[in-house]
Structure 1
Amino acid sequence: MKRNGLFALIALSLAGIGAAQAQDYSNWYIAPRVGAVIPDSDRETDTSLFTGIGIGYWSTPNFAVDFEVTHNNADFEKKSIRNNHEFENTGLGFAGRYFFGDAGSSWRPYAMGGLGFLRHAAISGSQLSASRSNGWDPMITVGGGVQHGFSDRLAFRAELAARYDRDNNSRQYYSAENKTGFVDAIASVALLVNFGGESAPEVAPTRETPPPQKPQISCRDLDDDKDGVNNCDDRCPGTEAGVQVGPDGCPMVQTIDLRGVNFKFDRPKKGEKNISPTLQEPTADSIAILDQAVDVLQRNPNMRVEVVGHTDSVGTDEYNQGLSERRARIVYDYLTSHGIDASRLSGPIGYGESRPIDTNDTKEGRARNRRTELEAQK
């Protein structure tokens, strides 16, 4: 694989990111990178340009796995002896990176380890035997680095690693030492572009305002069934006396669904109190749903509810449990800060992914399972 070919691969991958964003690839990213290979002194080669591209997946907020293709061409130092030939090194492998600190931090150090294979092939003027001029050899890579996030979609990664290459396809065929193992240093930088994420927030249905009545006899001044909801907003006229109703005049359901309250990925964080920064845009839609819930509870002072949170099945059980509890807690705090007495609220309780209301096998089903609810208590 020539250098120009790998550069073309990186360019084509970046060009396809826009199309990939429209799909349901949660937590996936692409990571083109560039740097330098500082070779083992026994190789007798010069420092060379290193390029690569990886497709990665965040299995948890602290661990990512990458499949990587790498490439470098190394010129030999003693060109008069080796007839000015060079070796192409093409690598295929997997690398795991464990990130320290909170997932919301802008700077995160990490440790990495990887396994794979390197193909060594003469690409110009080689005097090696035609039958032994190329081949695949195993490699092991360890190292570390730091990652800086610019936004939810874009991050920068700087890394220093050591690569052990059990190469028996290059130096041994022109050296009496017949060495088969080398340790090279690799310094590189990468640009991460995330092309996944949570599903787009659902838009709460809007309520159409009934046509206005005669100015002197407005329906907003009338409440024929005496349920506390004027005739304009009352969608269930004729409700029996004593029945608790919602803001639309219909009997109160057992669960107040807050599904339209959409949070950003992995928000709120531990200790986060202000709900607005944790909500997906437009935040006004989510705040309107919460304010409607506050209005329902204020209209029904005898009503008690349990504040619960749920997630879909993406991620570990432990991670989803904590996430559901944090979301239930921040909704609980929003209600109490807007005048709802804590004695009327139970919880907050998180059920993680244990109580789905739909399948987790589809994007739409997972979106319905990510919800916060107020369950009425007797």
Structure 2
Amino acid sequence: MKFKQPLTAGVAGALGLAFASSAMAQMDAPQDKRFYVAPMVSYGFFDNDAVGGPAPLGNLNTDNDDSIGATLAIGKPINSWLNLELFGFYFNPDQSINGADANDADLYGFGLDALFFPARDTLPVYGILGASWGKMDPGYGEVNDVAVGDDADADFLDAGLGYMYQLNDYGLAVRAEYRYRYTTVDSADIYGAGYEDQRFDDHILSLGLQIPLGAPPTAAEPAPAPAPAQPMDSDGDGVIDANDQCPGTPRGTEVDARGCPIEKQAPIVLKGVTFEFDSSKLTMQAENRLDNVVDALQASSEVKFRVDGYTDSIGTEQYNQGLSQRRVDSVRQYLIEHGISSSRITGTQGHGESNPVATNETAAGRAQNRRVELNVTEQ
């Protein structure tokens, strides 16, 4: 029959496209791609065909009765629109030859299916194209008292439609199919040389289950939200660019809330504030000088300050550090006892012989280095 050639080309082309698409499957949206098995009960509406041949058999008409059978498929979704399957089937139809009843025949095959889903998630209808190869074992051992072969090669081309209904969240589904099957049997294997192939237009209905293998896929965790972009602080002064009224401040410069450099006042050296030798006890001159400082501070009650003290380099560094701390603590105590609130004194710090303002090689230079300073911290 001329119908076989275009059907063969169409099935081969479609299966080739199916294989090619599997290489691009990773580009599609994620799907349930578990392997599955699909056992189905089938019913075949079988055709008959007459072939002519040489004596002694002559012309022969083979008729296959309709028959129940079975189909089993093992498959896997490849992407959102394609499944590929390996499948097999078996039928056992009653046969007659030239109108005379014969025994049951065996008709079976194994092959490859491609299932095409145009809209898998919204419309579970699919198209079927398949090709398989197998055998037909005739239900008779002789014709007109002439022995014949006991099996013949056969090939099958399928085209059809199916419907799948999912039963539960696991993925178990009912599957119903119709297939038009174009069957070609090598008659020469049974009747001998000189006989052309028998060709049958068969129709197959199947109903069964599709059973996924393995646990259902779980939804992928959503990607974490990107971290919010941090505000820019181009000059690194701790004030973001949007609020920085003095951009480009040199690094390390102390700035205010606007990002502008804080103008620091030079420390106030309390000249005349001296101590007895190697002691933190204030001299009379120092007390007089601090009385003047108290008057000035009481006149500027909003000012807060820190007291810093220094020594010369005579003695060990460790000893001078302790001596300078004891001396500034004496100044702090004197100010508090004479009416300056302790809350206005933000701290005291003895620096020992560090940060000299003059040489320690002369008596005059050492005298300058022994000093007490007030540093305004808030006004």
TM-score range (shorter-chain normalised) is 0.3 to 0.5
TM-score (norm 2): 0.43
Question: Rg larger in 1 or in 2?
Answer: 2
Q: TM (normalized to structure 1)?
A: 0.43
